[in-house]
């Protein structure tokens, strides 16, 4: 990466001086370029393909009380501080496969010193960004919003009317509902003839806002901006994929500004919590600093390739990636939070025979009263559920079966009937106006408090040391709303501190127990973000119990989660037909197989069908960790009868195809070049798969809901 000082043909700043601009190309790929522009008389900015001169949109925007916006709007652009920032310098370093650029800027009015951190993945077209703000002035500054990154023309100088946004919506058991929106649509950025209105920017924006600490509970913290190539079903033109890497509140916005020639400039802004959306303010005293949340971008030609690039970027963010072993969990459509020795031992034996490598005992192992929801917190093994030999007997059986034992925990909550609710001080709980926050019979622990950290560390250390636990499923089923005002400048500030204390606690656990495998779960996938997933091993993609409803969740999960981390439940049952078993197993095989089901009650033929799926998952492990996702028929609608998603490695692809219709059908799939066969299906296979040369793959499917995993043998495509 080289920085070049150039002189632009803009208006002179003095009679004999023209504005100087330093420009560095961060990447060039196909028709997509991204450059960092550092003017001497304007804020730093990012410029994409087709952009010249000084960018209209500054790289950093900051809202503060008493400073506000330079022009009225409801966005987080055109801020007074953002417009006043001037470049003080920059530096470039390299570290572990990243080129790190830091840009230093200052605001002469407030005394704020701002550092933009841009970590560019070497050999790729992606970056990670965040903003540091230090108060070098003498007076406190009350921050209301600090952008992690702002970029104008995110897909080049394409008209707003020709731009699409991919946005993910979700809720409990209904995750990953992706939809394309044309930005100039009725609920978007319609044409307003801005030049005729005193040359002002638009005042509104298209926004995605997530509140509380379920970072993906309403909107997925990722998306794509796409230059339309005719339709979203086609791959389109230049595309920019984005993600917010924060385990709490965040905001993404798309708005329109005018440049100096009155041309519209689309602006993508990515932020953590803000005052307007999340009751977040932070008082920055003299000499104090604040870091924004981290975000990432990945650029390519075509939306599918931009998501492939973001997939590669996510792998580079992971701190300690490990081989994705097959996990059996006793919960889903099986024990459902009611484990006992008598129920578990047959399951342990059956899971071991099937080929599972980890066995996780889910909720209920700590309960002696039969109604544990509002009494959790101590995390001590039940006596009544494990009367003969205790929990250790079951754990020893798991280990004897060649599997690693695991346990479910919900560490961030304490039930209102738990002894801990009385023994811990009020300051150990999130609260508002001196009253503990209570949701669904639970208080929420404040991980900033040393007694809380001490208690949770003792729980984890005890279970690891006493029982040899090598796997934890960490769940999180309630959320505190705006946050806590105890020891904070605002509820949003308290929540952000809590979010970061949560990450610090996880880091401490993994430092003490580096071999622990930890699953991220929050009522399924309500907290699926790369603040957590850069640290943890896998992500539950849903709590959905209906196998017919799971395919769009599993296929859509690959937009926001690495394939090797996307833990899709497969819950085959003895009362299922072979086709139904293959259907749910195919869902698991679409990402990282996460197994449940009453395997101990199956016939030998049924068990063999499950084992065949487990064997495929284990054989494909080395390819899974290098694969990128693709969607042969586009991203699925929730009720679409046909759902398909693929994982592409250098020499082979696996493609899960689910047919949820009731009638027979014939369909054509656009798959990578190569020979195609069925990698997973029942013994009596009624599917007919053909391909002429390297054209579309034609699949004839009999009547009724069915699924298969297809394999394409190819080379040189990943």
23 DSSP β-pair partners: 4, 37
Token pair in block for residue 398: 């798991």
H helices of 561-699, where? 578-589, 604-619, 621-624
**Residue 487, helix vs strand vs coil:** coil
| Residue 10: predicted pLDDT | 33
Q: Are 36 and 116 within 8 A, CB to CB?
A: no
Residue 78's nearest CA partner among 252, 275, 258, 281 is 258
Token pair in block for residue 425: 């001080």
Q: Are 628 and 618 within 8 A, CB to CB?
A: no
> Exposed (0-12), middle (13-18) or buried (19+): which is 465, by Cβ within 10 Å?
exposed
Note whether 3-317 and 645-713 share their fold: no
Annotated domain spans of the chain: 3-317, 403-474+477-519, 645-713
Q: Which residues 6+ apart lie within 8 Å of 712 measured at CB?
A: 652, 653, 655, 671, 672, 673, 674, 675, 676
- CA dist 232 and 306 (Å) reads 13
Residue 351's nearest CA partner among 297, 311, 401, 396 is 401
**Residue 125, helix vs strand vs coil:** coil
Q: Are 668 and 696 within 8 A, CB to CB?
A: yes
- CA dist 562 and 628 (Å) reads 8
| Residue 5: predicted pLDDT | 55
| pLDDT beneath 50: ranges in the chain | 6-18, 232-233
Go through 682-716 and write b for each residue having 16 or more CB atoms within 10 A of its CB, e for each that does not: beeeebebebeeeeebebebeebbbbbbbbbebee
Residue 255's nearest CA partner among 116, 32, 43, 74 is 74
**Cα distance from N-terminal residue to C-terminal residue, the chain:** 25
Token pair in block for residue 422: 């009385």
| Residue 352: predicted pLDDT | 99
| Residue 449: predicted pLDDT | 99
Q: Are 280 and 71 within 8 A, CB to CB?
A: no
Token pair in block for residue 576: 């299922």
Among 3.40.50.970, 3.40.50.450, 3.20.20.70, 3.40.395.10, what is the CATH number of 403-474+477-519? 3.20.20.70
Which architecture characterizes domain 645-713 according to CATH? Sandwich (2.60)
Domain 3-317 grouped into CATH 2.70.98.60: yes
């Amino acid at each position: 990466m080289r920085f070049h000082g150039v002189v632009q043909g803009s208006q002179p700043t003095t009679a004999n001086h023209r504005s100087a601009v330093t420009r560095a190309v961060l990447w060039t790929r196909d028709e997509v370029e991204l450059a960092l522009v550092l003017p001497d008389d304007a804020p730093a900015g990012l410029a994409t393909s087709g952009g010249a001169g000084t960018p209209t949109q500054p790289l950093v925007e900051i809202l503060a009380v008493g400073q506000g916006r330079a022009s009225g709007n409801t966005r987080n652009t055109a801020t007074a501080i953002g417009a006043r920032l001037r470049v003080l310098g920059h530096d470039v370093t390299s570290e572990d496969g990243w080129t790190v650029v830091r840009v230093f800027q200052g605001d002469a009015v407030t005394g704020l010193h701002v550092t933009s951190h841009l970590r560019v993945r070497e050999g790729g077209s992606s970056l990670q960004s965040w903003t540091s703000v230090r108060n070098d002035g003498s007076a406190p500054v009350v921050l209301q919003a600090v952008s992690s990154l702002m970029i104008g023309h995110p897909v080049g100088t394409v008209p707003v009317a020709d731009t699409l946004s991919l946005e993910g919506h979700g809720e409990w058991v209904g995750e990953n509902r992706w939809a394309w929106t044309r930005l100039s649509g009725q609920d978007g950025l319609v044409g307003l003839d801005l030049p005729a209105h005193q040359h002002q920017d638009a005042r509104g924006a298209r926004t995605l806002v997530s509140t509380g600490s379920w970072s993906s509970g309403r909107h997925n913290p990722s998306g794509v901006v796409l230059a339309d190539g005719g339709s979203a079903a086609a791959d389109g033109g230049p595309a920019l994929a984005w993600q917010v890497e924060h385990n709490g509140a965040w905001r993404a916005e798309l708005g329109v500004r005018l440049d100096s020639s009155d041309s519209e400039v689309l602006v993508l802004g990515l932020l953590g919590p803000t005052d307007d959306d999340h009751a977040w303010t932070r008082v920055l005293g003299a000499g104090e600093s604040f870091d924004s949340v981290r975000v990432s971008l990945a650029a390519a030609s075509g939306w599918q390739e931009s998501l492939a690039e973001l997939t590669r970027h996510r792998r580079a963010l992971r701190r300690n990636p490990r081989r994705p072993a097959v996990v059996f969990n006793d919960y889903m459509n099986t024990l459902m939070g009611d484990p006992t020795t008598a129920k578990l031992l047959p399951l342990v034996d059956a899971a071991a025979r099937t080929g599972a490598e980890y066995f996780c005992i889910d909720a209920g192992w700590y309960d002696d009263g039969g109604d544990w929801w509002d009494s959790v917190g101590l995390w001590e093994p039940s006596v009544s559920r494990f009367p003969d030999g205790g929990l250790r007997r079951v754990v020893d059986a798991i280990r004897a079966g060649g599997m690693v034992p695991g346990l479910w925990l919900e560490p961030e909550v304490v039930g209102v009937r738990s002894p801990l609710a009385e023994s811990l001080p009020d300051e150990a709980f999130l609260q508002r106006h001196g009253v503990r926050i209570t949701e669904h019979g639970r208080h929420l622990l404040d991980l900033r408090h040393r007694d809380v950290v001490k208690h949770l560390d003792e729980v984890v250390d005890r279970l690891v040391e006493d029982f040899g636990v090598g796997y934890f499923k960490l769940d999180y089923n309630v959320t505190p709303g705006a946050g806590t005002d105890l020891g904070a400048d605002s509820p949003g500030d308290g929540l952000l501190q809590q979010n970061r204390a949560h990450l610090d606690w996880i880091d401490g656990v993994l430092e003490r127990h580096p071999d622990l495998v930890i699953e991220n779960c929050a009522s399924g996938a309500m907290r699926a973000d790369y603040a957590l997933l850069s640290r943890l091993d896998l992500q539950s993609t849903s709590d959905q119990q209906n196998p017919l409803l799971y395919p769009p969740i599993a296929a859509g999960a690959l937009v926001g989660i690495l394939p090797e981390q996307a833990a899709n439940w497969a819950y085959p049952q003895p009362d299922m037909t072979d086709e139904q078993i293959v259907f749910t197993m195919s869902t698991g095989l679409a990402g990282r197989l996460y197994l449940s089901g009453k395997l101990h009650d199956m016939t030998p033929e049924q068990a063999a069908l499950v084992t065949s799926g487990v064997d495929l998952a284990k054989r494909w492990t080395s390819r899974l960790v290098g694969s990128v996702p693709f969607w042969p028929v586009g991203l699925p609608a929730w009720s679409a009868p046909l759902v398909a998603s693929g994982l592409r490695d250098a020499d082979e692809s696996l493609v899960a195809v689910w047919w949820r219709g009731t009638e027979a059908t014939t369909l054509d799939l656009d798959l990578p070049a190569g020979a195609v066969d069925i990698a997973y299906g029942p013994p009596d296979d009624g599917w007919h798969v053909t391909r002429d040369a390297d054209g579309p793959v034609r699949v004839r499917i009999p009547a009724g809901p069915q699924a298969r995993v297809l394999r394409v043998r190819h080379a040189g495509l990943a």
